[in-house]
Structure 1
Amino acid sequence: MSESVERRILVGRIVGVSGVQGAIKLESWTNPRMQIFKYQPWILKSASGEKEIQGCRGREQGKGMIAELPGVCEREQAAALIGTEIWVLRSALPPPKPGEYYWADLEGLDVVTTEGIPLGRVSHLFSTGANDVLVAKDAERERMVPFVVGQYVAEIDFDARRIVVDWDPEF
């Protein structure tokens, strides 16, 4: 699966500047959020292109996060990065524990019911607080299935690139 080795995962975004020495404010979508600093190098992606950087450091500050990026030492440099996405290679992430899944690994898998009725492909997942929700899309519609393994998600087969769900195809 060489495509998954080079696959990129969006893990955060630069949302502001902090101070006058080039520190940035960032939003992390890792769990826990400080984990973003363990996944390096970062691939910074913006409208002006991409840049790979290594050695990013940071800390939590109140409800936000502050980071220092190598080569960014002035406020103007940091301000130019606002809106930049932070990506990492999938291979930078540790293997998930048994029974855990990276959402990015589930995206693109076919979704079928326990009766074999196709529901589409996983376009994305999102969290509701109560549980995660898997979104399966086909040409006609979009279905939202609670991502609850054992109750609604019967099987995840990465080799077959398929998720089997106990779900009414009309719902």
Structure 2
Amino acid sequence: MSERKLSLPDWVVMGRIGTPFGVKGWVRVHTYSEALDSLSHYAEWGLGKEGQYQRYALVDWQIQGGGLVAALAGVTDRTQAEFLRGLEVVIPRSELPALEPDEFYWSDLVGMSVRNEAGEALGTVGELLETGAHPVLVVRAGEVERLIPFVAPVLQEVRLAEGVIRVDWGLDY
């Protein structure tokens, strides 16, 4: 476990640590990928926030109650697991599968500008939420927060190179 500032986009946020699972240091993991076991393919995870991550070796994992639970090296009791709650799980971009031309990782969208079809700025993507029905963009502009469905026909275009997401959404929605 070494702590250092890691440079995004060298790392991709792939999930978040949830509540402890049991008394032996296991944690629930909320994955941001389609497959619940996707994080189990990586021997080492970075855990932290805002670019400050510690590396943890994945010791064991299982699918439990419709979600992923994991044991990490050095986390041996429930109290230690509780301290990890809410931390991002990051994986080196170099270890992830190659993307198709129209694909992207959710973490690549954070910080992008969101504009509607009239060219009006709606704000900046703060995060994405998985609601069960479909993902939702959390877009912030000062004190205003908009929850915009990240699904067609609302989503019109994602232009990664330009840092812009175009949506069919009004300023007054």
Deviations for 1:47-72, whole angstroms, at most 9, x for unmatched residues?
xx853123432112445544333355
The 3 A distance-change label for structure 1 pair 155 and 65 is closer
Given that residues 110 and 122 in structure 1 are in contact (C-alpha distance below 8 angstroms), is that contact kept between their aligned partners in structure 2? yes
Larger CA deviation: 123-132 vs 156-165: 123-132
Aligned positions, number = 162
Contact map agreement 1:42 1:86 (CA 8 A) in 2 = no
Query: Cα distance 1:170–1:66, how it changes in 2: closer, same or farther (>3 A)?
Result: closer
Residue 17 of structure 1: CA displacement?
A: 5.0
159-168 or 94-103, which deviates more: 94-103
Change in 2 beyond 3 A, CA 1:83/1:93: farther
The structure 1 residue matched to 2:133, chosen from 130, 141, 146, is 130
Which structure: larger Rg? 1
1:14/1:86 contact within 8 Å kept: no
User: 1:69 and 1:162, CA in 2 relative to 1: closer, same or farther beyond 3 A?
Assistant: same
Please report the RMSD computed on the Cα atoms of aligned residues, expressed in angstroms: 3.1
- How far residue 6 of structure 1 moved from its aligned partner, in angstroms, is 2.7
Structure 2 gaps, min length 5: 1-6
In 2, the alpha carbon distance for the partners of 1:148 and 1:63 equals 24
Taking a change above 3 Å as real, the CA distance of residues 156 and 81 of structure 1, as seen in their structure-2 partners, is same
Asked if the contact 1:28/1:34 (under 8 Å) is kept, the reply is: no
Deviations 1:89-140 (A, max 9, x none): 3514334445544221111110111121111111122233322221221125
More strand by share: 2
Counterpart of 2:154 in structure 1 is 152
**Percent of paired sites with the same residue:** 27
Kindly provide the amino acid, as one letter, of the partner of residue 144 in structure 2. Answer: R
Corresponding position of 1:79: 79
Q: Distance in 2 between matches of 1:64 and 1:143?
A: 28
> Does the Cα contact within 8 Å between 2:29 and 2:69 map onto a contact in 1?
no
Query: Which residue identity is paired with 1:42?
Result: W
Distance 1:115 1:5, change over 3 A: same
- Separation in structure 2 between the aligned mates of residue 156 and residue 66 of structure 1, nearest angstrom: 32
Tell me if the contact between 1:7 and 1:90 (Cα under 8 Å) persists in the aligned partners: yes
Shift of 1:163: 0.7
Q: Does 1:89 align with 2:88?
A: no
**TM-score (structure 1 length as normaliser):** 0.74
Whole-angstrom CA distance in 2 between matches of 1:56 and 1:110: 39
Query: 1:5 aligned to 2:45?
Result: no
Q: Is the 8 A contact 2:25 2:81 kept in 1?
A: no
The TM-score normalised by the length of structure 2 is: 0.73
